[in-house]
Amino acid sequence: MAEVIKTAAIWNEDEFTHLESRSTEIISAVQSGSTRQTLQGQTASTRTEAQQLLLNIIIGSISVKAYIVTKDERETGLRNLVNFGHTVGHAIEAVLTPTILHGECVSVGMVLEAEIARKLGVLGQVAVGRLTRCIKAYGLPTTVSDPRIAKLPAARQLTIKKLLDIMKIDKKNSGPQKKVVLLSRIGKTHEERATAVDDRVIATVLAEACKVVPGVPRNDPVRMATPGSKSISNRALVLAALGEGTCRLRNLLHSDDTQVMMAALNDLKGASFEWEDGGETLVVHGGRGSLTTPPKGKELYLGNAGTAARFLTTVCTLAHPSADATTQTTVITGNARMKQRPTGPLVEALLSNGSSISYLETPGCLPLAINEGFKGGHIQLAASVSSQYVSSILLCAPYASSAEGTVLELTGGQVISQPYIDMTVAMMATFGVTVTRRKNATGQLLDVYEIPKAVYRNPAAYNIESDASSATYPLAIAAITGTTCTIENIGSASLQGDAGFAKGVLEPMGCKVVQTETETTVTGPPRGQLRACGYVDMEPMTDAFLTASVLAAVATQPSLEERRVDGIAPNTTRILGIANQRVKECNRIRAMIDELAKFGVETKELDDGLEIYGKPIEELTENPSIHCYDDHRVAMAFSVLGTVVKGAVLEEKACVGKTWPNWWDDLENKIGLSVEGVELDKAPSGQVDRYSFPPYATILLTGMRGAGKSYIGKLAATVLGLEYIDADEFLAEKVGMGLSEYVKEKGWPAFRDAELEAVFELFRTKPCGAVISLGGGIVETPAAREALKSYRGPIVHVERDLEAIVKYLTEDTARPPYGDATIEEVFHRREPWYTEAATHQFYSYFRPDATEEEKAAASVALKAEIMRYFKHISGLQPNLAPNLAKVKRSYFLSLTYPDITPALPIMGDLTTGVDAVELRVDLLSPS
């Protein structure tokens, strides 16, 4: 298939359109097969429509190759075109053969060579996106980070230098240039031959990381448009797919997020898609809300696309069982981070409304198994974590089964990101459904929405605004470099809350801002003259807080008087209203604090945000390596700071593919700042050394309830002279009631949220000088496990015999029961999580059947062991063997005998000169 895609991409856009829009049919034809008995498909009379389509595609590919080879028998140039994807692909193949096939390597090569063309400015992102989607549709890899490639030991050899050296072997290449076939659009090449491309360009595209060369934008004043809004693109896709009729979506974002949304809607048979205008317009043929569960075994994989995950959770409740009734359930899942991001409030609201949804792994998170059933009527939804929950129900509410429509009541305090809810309501109106927001007697708007039962009517065309969150980056570059930038298609009339960034953040920082309904122009003050923001509430534009943070890092001039906060320095920016950013692609507040620290910038974490203390540009630390957490917003925000700080390396440049895949190219070609590729060491700076922590770092104890954490923690605190804190008692005091009572009243999800919030507070207020015993269930949520793994201090897993734990807990009624699960089931579920989170383990060896005399002796021994153990791990009194020294080698012997008896007579000889001996009892023969 790689060869077929290749010939269509270089020569025939119509053929390529068939490949991208009819991939399901083509794959089914490939998989249908033909046997000698049936001869299915071998003759016109036995050939299905899908098989005929496959045959036509293959014939078309052969015809292109035959024409090119015949036309250019002497290989004067035209024949080069069939090598599209091969210059890079062959180099990859040379390293990975025979494990990875030729076609798979060429697939990766085609995408990389398309990105080279895009970097050179001869190919647009629309074409790169179409090519990538098409290759993915046939199950082929598009990047060397594909799991099929990345897991191979040989993949470590895919260095830039090695790949360029392999390319040199090709007789067509010489010196610091390589011959590469460049596309100018789908179906057309830049030249009718391969083009000479500098090694520097190829290296930048191949590199996993990059850095921005500091300077003044060469294209000042900059005028540009950002890609289509991710938020609007995803809403438009759902609306048009659920709607009746055909809608042409223009300026749709071509990114990872919209790819997974389109793929999921296609798998649900909710709509059909085709491209017009060279991929600039997506034609959506709506399905009127008729969706079908995917084939058995087919999961909807959504990567780390939070918007798609939340929207599709409700969309999937509309999916009817397949015609043959083999599948009645739709499973949606994602990558490791997506499985940590919360969906609980949305799922709980749908469950309360009668939907049938099951958590397949961790409660409150993906993956989910979803059955048909969305009743509507009156729905209550907690909306204090994400507005996407609200939009998910709003978008699908017209198709609920209730004839009276749906009333959506938002609960749980202040609604987060109201502008995004307003965006959804406005877009629904454009597609023919009017949502009414209730008011009280005085005319004040309530958080109650009335949605009628209806069918969306697709407008003939819908133009998608440029992405306002993305617009903050080029505008911020103008602010930090003292230049001018105009962003088209984003102004005061925008549906997006982030469109207020220029007036709400940049103007108070000293920038000149001119904003019309449709465009925004920012001129920065002289370099180094930005004002601190003082207090700024960014709740209406939470995603833009990262951009504000990097500007605040160099904002040294006093903030405006009306924004200044009493008691804080005049160079302080205090950003609030962004608590939800802890549960985005990463914990963004923590990420900004940790990565700004690498520049030498001081910050302070707050419950609802952070403070940044501005520092002169010339005092910032140079050459930092910035971990991007696979988060597009982190990468693009720190690229802004990279325009004024020498050597700032952005470690994961590809993560911008989520919203602005060509950001690095636009930074160079449209803004005029050079971007260089960087080859990373094998251990990126984002990896935390969990065994290197500050002196007297607070010690955390984890383990099952009844394992002895409190007893051991108190003793450890006493011998170390530290404060002892019981996290359960701290939480009970914080919520003002007993924990059993809290769980009974609020439920387990609310308890886990409150527990994690209390732990974060302890992390902030007690970073050192304490021993904290954590609740046994702290490891139940992915967010809490990630918080523990990111903690820089000792985490001790206190273990105890299961029989002893069961006996103890059977007698304990003070704490909430485990519900339907037995103690044994909870123990086995949590055990791997405790191990994953811990840096150390401590075994509490009380036996439930021990005599009083044995218990007394064990208690004395345990106290001595606690003193030795905790003084060792805290560094107060390391318990190291006397022979261990930096200048002296030590020797270790592992005995792996199935029967140790024959070795006993020679044990003295075996262990001569050995400092430590290990006997592998797990390898001893049982007989």
Q: What is the pLDDT of residues 483-505, one digit of tens each?
A: 999 999 999 999 999 999 999 99
Residue 568 has pLDDT above 80, yes or no: yes
Residue that has been written with the tokens 């605040």 in this structure: 552
* Residue 25 to residue 27: CA distance in whole angstroms: 6
Could you tell me where the DSSP H helices lie in 560-708?
Answer: 588-597, 632-641, 663-666
| Distant-in-sequence, close-in-space partners of 859: CB < 8 Å, separation ≥ 6 | none
pLDDT for the residue 265: 95
Residue 683 has pLDDT above 50, yes or no: no
pLDDT for the residue 134: 93
> Per-residue pLDDT tens for 598-619?
999 999 999 899 999 999 999 9
> Would you report the helix, strand and coil content of the chain in percent, each value rounded to 5?
45, 20, 40
Q: How confident is the model at residue 685 (pLDDT cuts 50, 70, 90)?
A: very low
* Residue 458 to residue 282: CA distance in whole angstroms: 13
User: Cβ–Cβ contacts within 10 Å for residue 403, how many?
Assistant: 8
Q: What is the pTM of this model?
A: 0.69
pLDDT for the residue 812: 62
How much of the chain exceeds pLDDT 90, in percent? 60
The torsion angles phi and psi of 210, rounded to 5 degrees, stand at -155, 170
Q: How confident is the model at residue 740 (pLDDT cuts 50, 70, 90)?
A: confident
CB 82 within 8 A of CB 65: yes
Residue 819 has pLDDT above 70, yes or no: no
> How confident is the model over 640-649, as a mean pLDDT?
97
pLDDT for the residue 205: 96
* Residue 330 to residue 369: CA distance in whole angstroms: 6
Which is it for strands 723-726 and 770-773: parallel, antiparallel or unpaired?
parallel
The more confident residue out of 336 and 555 is: 555
| Burial of 299: CB neighbours in 10 Å, binned 0-12, 13-18, 19+ | middle
Residue 457 has pLDDT above 50, yes or no: yes
Q: Cα separations (Å) of 387 from 419, 424, 637, 658, 830?
A: 9, 10, 23, 19, 32
pLDDT for the residue 348: 93
> Per-residue pLDDT tens for 292-309?
999 888 899 998 888 999
> Per-residue pLDDT tens for 876-907?
777 776 666 666 778 889 999 988 888 888 98
> Per-residue pLDDT tens for 34-89?
655 666 777 788 888 888 888 999 999 999 999 998 988 877 889 999 999 999 99
pLDDT for the residue 854: 72
Distance of CA 555 to the CA centre of its chain: 30
Residue that has been written with the tokens 């922590």 in this structure: 693
> How confident is the model over 340-365, as a mean pLDDT?
91
**Residues classed as catalytic:** 257, 304, 543, 585, 632-633, 658
> How confident is the model over 136-158, as a mean pLDDT?
90
* Residue 921 to residue 722: CA distance in whole angstroms: 38
> Mean pLDDT for the chain?
89
Residue 241: which of 262, 227, 218, 211 has the closest Cα? 262
pLDDT for the residue 459: 97
In three-state secondary structure terms, 793 is: coil
pLDDT for the residue 305: 87
Residue 330: which of 305, 352, 355 has the closest Cα? 355
> Per-residue pLDDT tens for 267-295?
999 999 988 887 789 999 999 999 999 98
Q: Cα separations (Å) of 813 from 103, 195, 558, 703, 734?
A: 63, 76, 57, 18, 21
* Residue 544 to residue 497: CA distance in whole angstroms: 10
351 CB-side CA count, 13 A: 12
When mean pLDDT is compared across 103-112, 160-169, 236-245, 545-554, the lowest value belongs to 160-169
Q: Cα separations (Å) of 725 from 289, 451, 550, 899?
A: 54, 49, 36, 48
In three-state secondary structure terms, 834 is: helix
